[in-house]
Structure 1
Amino acid sequence: MSKWLYKLGSWTGSNSKQVILAFILLMALLGALILSMGTAFQEDVSIPGTESEKAMTMLQEQFTGGEQKGQVNIVFKAPANETLDSAKNKAAISDLLAKIQEDQAVISVATPYELGNINPDKQIGYAVVTYTSSADQVSQASKDRVEDNLKLTQDQGIETGLGGTVKFEQTKAGGGPGEALGVAIAYVILAFTFASLLVAGMPILIALIGVGTGVLCILLGTNYFDISSISLTLAGMLGIAVGIDYSLFIFSRFKQQLKKGYSVQESIAIANGTAGNAVVFAGITVIIALLGLIVVDIPFMTTMGIATAVVVLLSIIVAITVVPAILGIMGHRIQPKKSNRLILMLTRANKKKETPTNAWSRFVTKNPFIVAFVGIAVLVVMTIPFFHLNLGLPDDGNKQYETAERQGYDLLSKAYGAGFHSTLVVIADPANQEAADPDRLKALSEQINGLDHVKSATPAMPNQSGDMFLMSVTPEDGPNAPETKDLVKEIRDLSDKGNMELLVTGATAINIDITEQIMSALPTFAILIVAFAFILMMVVFRSLLVPLKAVLGFVLSIGATLGFTVFIVQDGNFLDLFGFPGESAILFLLPVLCIGILFGLSMDYEVFLVSRMREEFAHTGDAKKAIHAGLKENGAVVTAAGLIMISVFSGFIFSHDPTIKQMGLALAVGVLFDAFVVRLAIVPAVMTLLGKSAWYFPKWLDKILPNFDIEGESIMKEYSEKGKEPKSYAGQVQVNKWQ
């Protein structure tokens, strides 16, 4: 692989304009196809085969007569010392609903007075607007009509909010001020890394090419596959981060080769054959981790993993082709110019003779036990909140206070209780006529009504054929409360298979089933990820203890990441600092996404850092010197890469969407723990304690496993044998006697 990438780098570096033009034409072609075909995102998060999904199908077939229509609840709260049934307030509400009913997409509008849902103090009630299509098919124009006309009641002092199945705030991919700020910070980090304002923009530009191509592929793919809009956000978030990192690693290796005296063209080829090789393997780990989401067996998560993997794959391709092409054009400008005095002064303040170590590597190797103990202790403490993890789906109650949906959610909770938002639909399917006896059905309704945490249960209502019955159960608690989850199980346990089967559905029950499916698949998914990591690292580094250390470090970092997220989001600590409006359940797909994505990223840092250590150990046979080389040469790059990842992910914390906020927080914190605590502290400390035994590898195992030459050792060996390397590098290639 390294030799092929060496040749590819040499060719693309010599044919820069053709390579760059090819990618521009590819993006133009994809853009033209999207303009002609459009996009068709699918927001269905159901799981075929679950009990709630089965019950939902029965509900549509036996009770609602087909597809459920989209509905908007418009919630009203009368001004202080007034009631909703006053003539003035009735007139304002009537004017608002009349304007909305002018929309041809509206089937019907029911006022609070017609529905009789005004609360006892006559302060709060809601109207229901029903559309001709399902909730996800309601047009943006119809939504805009509703939102624009809310001022008719708001101007009269009536507090007005929104609810229902139609969602007004859709998840969007990137582009916000937070994300832009994250990229801007990444640019500053790159400027200090390369001591050049011009060169700093190159990794970002290259990352945008990879992400842009990948996102265009996803947009085109929505016409053929069921892809959710959140997939686009995740793909953009991860694609920008890894794209910048992969470019950074190749740029940095190129710069190292220039310093050793190689020509620009030779440096391009060597950088692509060495760092580019590491990029390919690191990227493959991310892709395999994302494809591992298939194990969870949830359709929308499978497509999410595949879509994001496509973006990562294109980021790899762009890194090993476009980066050499860019370097072929401007490689001679990588070295900072004397005119950049400010950057030179900040990044090269110490003009003393370079040493093979830096302050951090010296500190770690002198105090390995203390560094390892403190690092592990910090991560273990951070993991503790993970053990009371409560998964759920963020709802309108987790949105910012100024949104109409949050205001509607709070008003409905105040008027009817938190359980209003977690209503359960119970279908009673009697096995025989005796079971359908009215007295038995009445007793069943009373039995459900008497369960703990049930606020009310309606009498059983028959369908047209009279062979099935429907009940609506309102819990006392919200949709993500553990008590509501227990209630769903209790109702299902009341089923008597030979007499009466009870099926529970509705949005709350569907989300509970999805959560349980994820939790049941999580151990298998995690074990597969860890096992794969161990095997991959063993093949790459030709060691038993190095991969063991790598996967144990990943387990520590993922535990601390999820624990910290629970501490902030679920337990409600420091919410204002991170911009969360209130405590909430953890996003049900967050653990799986964190394990998949952070695994790939952690292996990235492991590969880039330890591959340099192994390269040095193969040359010198000195374990401590290898640690110094890895931390000095690639440690700075891993530091910059980690800071860039944190900056990009942190930008998504500023999103108004609670789902995206949680993802941004968890991934930013995950990179912080893994890159800085595990890879840059615990890893070198443990390797110092292990010494040369860290690189022990049985000869019989070395013979049967493939050797991917991830460090590009064969390339440098050829340079040494042919006498092409600079004198400062000659004679360093030695045989590693520990293999």
Structure 2
Amino acid sequence: MSNFFKWYTQKVLKFPKIILGLGVLVVISTAILGFGFGGALSSEGMTIGNTPAQKAADVVSKNFKNPNNVAQIQVVLRSKDSLKTNKNQKIISDLQHRLQTQKNVKAVMTPDQLGNYASSNKVAYLTVTYNNKAITETETSNLVKAVKDYRNSSFEIEFSGIVSNVEVSEAPEIVGISIAFVILVITFGSFLIAGLPIISAILGLLTGLSGIFVATRFTDVASYDLSLAAMVALAVGIDYALFIVARYRDEREKTDSNTAIYVALTKTGPSVIFAASTIIVALLGMSALGIGFLGVMGAVSALCVLLVVIVSFLIVPSILVLFPTLGIHHRIKFGKKIKPSRVFAKIINGHSKLVMLLSVIFLILVAIPASHIQLGLPNDGSKPVNTTERKAFDIKSDAYGAGNDAMLVTVVRNDGTAKVQSFENEVKSLDNIQSFSPAMPSANGKYIMYTMTPKTEANAHKTQVLVKKVRNLQKKINLPVYVTGKTAANIDISNKLMSALPKFLIIIVAFAFFLLMMAFRSILIPLVAVVGFVLSLLATLGVVVLTIQDGHLSNLLNLPGKSSVLNFLPVLVVGILFGLAMDYEVFLVSRIREEFLISGNNRISIEKGVHDTGSAIIAAALIMISVFASFVFTNEIIIQSMGLALASGVFFDAFIVRMLIVPAAINVFGKYNWYLPKWLDKVLPNLNIE
């Protein structure tokens, strides 16, 4: 890799305009392909095949004539007066007529037909069934217009079951970029050179997103996949350009511009490639779990990161060659210069054991809430409080109970014996069932279907327990029992993801350990690194549970209130946080090791290493935190969850683990940090990343 960067540096120095032109050509051509000829984002939900709920759904689809394969929404009504007054009955009749005339509407059932009046007849709902499988945005808009004239202060109309796409807003990126620019100006003391990583990252992000739209021609890519790719690619794009520019600036103060470019690319380039490779491998590793939508999510994010890195190496060095005095003159002075990295170095060298102990205790305390993590998928109760779906959800929860949207479909094999009656008796004895429908036999008589409504909402632990108990009845009655429906399907997805998490974590930790052992020729350094990674991961999940699941600080963080933790979030955090953790580990420890090989003194190497790389790591971490945190203030809980988790993860890993625990451990363990058995040293490949 070192030889490649020596060759590439010579080309950049000799042909900077051609290299820059090539970078611009890559950006423009990819943008034309992506936005001009690319596909569209998918609105399909997250599904996993070969689950009990999916098998049950196949039984229902095969044996019952009217499976739930068409779109169906509810028009929820709440009036200050009884809905059975003549005035309100006329409104309901008019609503039925208007809704029935909408395009693709198959049938509209009134509250009288459904018998669903509640709350002293002040709450009810109409059911609108469509001919198509999914309601479109146009149909949703037409529904809203159809009921507009009937909405007033005494008669509330809301919609439940609308499938709304995740909005991909540019606002979070703009906020994140603005904060990143301020951090870079403070770091470099120059508006001009601070803009270079921003410009490079924006061009890289544009290229990466264009590449994803090209990928939509070949696979389904959800809108939240695009948001995740955008936040990761933007953060690493700014950071990687920052590391190159920071090294160039340091060298430029000591030598001429050509030499500075040479040192920046040959010394920092391999580390950037290594760091980018780790996060790409971690993202692609998500496909090893065999879960389709996670594999796609990781793959498109990895593609975006790859394109960002390519653009960074084409744009940044060529501009520095063309404008060698960029940001060198007319630097901004901020009064007394404070070096946070110097503060870290002094604290670590002065109180290493105490720093280690307090940091580990802090992470463990923050991680405690993760012990009661509850995974699930967002429903209408996770929507912002001002949306029609959330209002409808709250109205129905108050009127019909928390489990009104958690209906379970149960199918039992009909063998013509008393076992079916035994099943019904067993189900009715369970303690978390709000209602249980009469039996409905299939046309061929082979199966009997029931619907049941739990007392608890879809993502509640008691609902999961109920599904498990109903399925377990097949052992008791000796008949096949199937449970399906949206709630059961989501529970199965969450269970499968939770069971896959330990396997994925073990793979990632083992990969990190051997990778770092090859890079640093040490056993203790990788061990401390992966233990720190696990601690920061647990602390991150602790914050997510505390805020999203338990509802603390929800107003401050613009969260909708208590909600289950996004079921694929832990796997996602493991993959991405691993890649980011390795970035900081490599940049910091490689510099400490470089100094140790010169001085042989841990204290000196730590002080020098933390001082030289600390400022860039702190700036890079703050930028990542800013970019990720800006996504918390969207109105979509999936994107909010990802932003909050990644921002928290970067904070814990960069500031607590890499800037405190790792160098403190190096100081405590002394010469043993760099010990590697001779036989192992001979066997392991030498991964030179310095």
TM-score normalized by the length of structure 2: 0.95
* % identical aligned pairs: 39
Q: 1:145 aligns with which of 142, 146, 152?
A: 142
| SS of match in other structure, 1:206 | helix
1:407 to partner: Cα distance: 0.2
Partner residue, 1:46: 47
Q: 1:467 aligns with which of 434, 446, 470?
A: 446
| SS of match in other structure, 2:70 | coil
1:84 to partner: Cα distance: 1.5
- For 2:479, the aligned partner's letter is M
- For 1:333, the aligned partner's letter is L
1:621 to partner: Cα distance: 2.5
Contact kept, 8 Å, 2:41 with 2:216, in 1: the verdict is yes
Contact kept, 8 Å, 1:554 with 1:674, in 2: the verdict is yes
| SS of match in other structure, 2:324 | helix
CA distance in 1, matches of 2:130, 2:207: 37
CA distance in 1, matches of 2:116, 2:495: 34
Q: 1:195 aligns with which of 189, 193, 203?
A: 189
CA distance in 2, matches of 1:181, 1:399: 23
The 1:20/1:161 distance shift into structure 2, 3 A limit, reads: farther
CA distance in 2, matches of 1:66, 1:581: 33
Deviations 1:292-314 (A, max 9, x none): 21232211111111111111222
The 1:428/1:20 distance shift into structure 2, 3 A limit, reads: farther
CA distance in 1, matches of 2:103, 2:669: 74
1:490 to partner: Cα distance: 0.5
Partner residue, 1:599: 578
Matched, 1:230 2:235: no
The 1:406/1:686 distance shift into structure 2, 3 A limit, reads: same
1:421 to partner: Cα distance: 1.2
Matched, 1:7 2:2: no
Question: Any runs of at least 4 consecutive aligned residues in structure 1 with deviations exceeding 6 A, and if so which?
Answer: none
Matched, 1:518 2:504: no
Matched, 1:344 2:344: no
The 1:274/1:101 distance shift into structure 2, 3 A limit, reads: farther
239-248 or 204-213, which deviates more: 204-213
Contact kept, 8 Å, 1:211 with 1:311, in 2: the verdict is yes
Deviations 1:145-182 (A, max 9, x none): 22334432223631222112x312x2233413x44222
Contact kept, 8 Å, 2:191 with 2:327, in 1: the verdict is no
CA distance in 2, matches of 1:147, 1:120: 25
Matched, 1:85 2:84: yes
Contact kept, 8 Å, 1:296 with 1:521, in 2: the verdict is yes
Alignment of 1:590-669 (within 5 A): 590-669=569-648
Aligned residues: 689
1:521 to partner: Cα distance: 1.2
191-200 or 63-72, which deviates more: 63-72
Contact kept, 8 Å, 2:423 with 2:473, in 1: the verdict is no
Partner residue, 2:686: 707
Q: Which runs of 5+ in 2 are unaligned?
A: none
Matched, 1:402 2:386: yes
Partner residue, 1:71: 72
Matched, 1:318 2:272: no
Deviations 1:539-581 (A, max 9, x none): 1112111111111110111111111211222222222221223
1:320 to partner: Cα distance: 2.5
Deviations 1:87-115 (A, max 9, x none): 33233344445444443232222222332
Alignment of 1:202-351 (within 5 A): 202-261=196-255, 263-335=256-328, 337-338=329-330, 340=331, 343-346=332-335, 349=337
1:324 to partner: Cα distance: 1.2
The 1:97/1:266 distance shift into structure 2, 3 A limit, reads: farther
Contact kept, 8 Å, 2:435 with 2:453, in 1: the verdict is yes
CA distance in 2, matches of 1:429, 1:497: 14
CA distance in 2, matches of 1:162, 1:132: 18
Q: 1:379 aligns with which of 352, 363, 372?
A: 363
- For 2:262, the aligned partner's letter is A
| SS of match in other structure, 1:74 | strand
CA distance in 2, matches of 1:497, 1:644: 57
Deviations 1:129-151 (A, max 9, x none): 2222222xx32211222233443
CA distance in 1, matches of 2:197, 2:51: 45
Matched, 1:22 2:22: yes
CA distance in 2, matches of 1:423, 1:643: 45
Deviations 1:234-290 (A, max 9, x none): 1111111111111111111111211221x2222223212211111111111111111
Matched, 1:173 2:172: no
Partner residue, 1:509: 488
The 1:440/1:534 distance shift into structure 2, 3 A limit, reads: closer
| SS of match in other structure, 2:325 | helix
294-303 or 510-519, which deviates more: 294-303
1:44 to partner: Cα distance: 3.4
Partner residue, 1:554: 533
CA distance in 2, matches of 1:622, 1:313: 38
1:51 to partner: Cα distance: 0.9
CA distance in 1, matches of 2:59, 2:443: 13
Partner residue, 1:132: 131
The 1:150/1:625 distance shift into structure 2, 3 A limit, reads: farther
Partner residue, 2:513: 534
Q: Which runs of 5+ in 1 are unaligned?
A: 712-739
Deviations 1:620-679 (A, max 9, x none): 333222111211111010000110011011101101111211211111111111111111
- For 1:21, the aligned partner's letter is G
Q: 1:494 aligns with which of 457, 473, 478?
A: 473
The 1:14/1:332 distance shift into structure 2, 3 A limit, reads: farther
Contact kept, 8 Å, 2:31 with 2:206, in 1: the verdict is no
**RMSD value over aligned CA atoms?**
2.1
Partner residue, 1:155: 152
CA distance in 1, matches of 2:116, 2:217: 42
| SS of match in other structure, 1:616 | helix
1:187 to partner: Cα distance: 0.9
Alignment of 1:354-365 (within 5 A): 358-365=342-349
Matched, 1:678 2:657: yes
The 1:19/1:120 distance shift into structure 2, 3 A limit, reads: same
Matched, 1:450 2:442: no
1:401 to partner: Cα distance: 1.0
Contact kept, 8 Å, 1:612 with 1:630, in 2: the verdict is yes
CA distance in 1, matches of 2:451, 2:18: 65
Matched, 1:183 2:177: yes
CA distance in 1, matches of 2:546, 2:341: 38
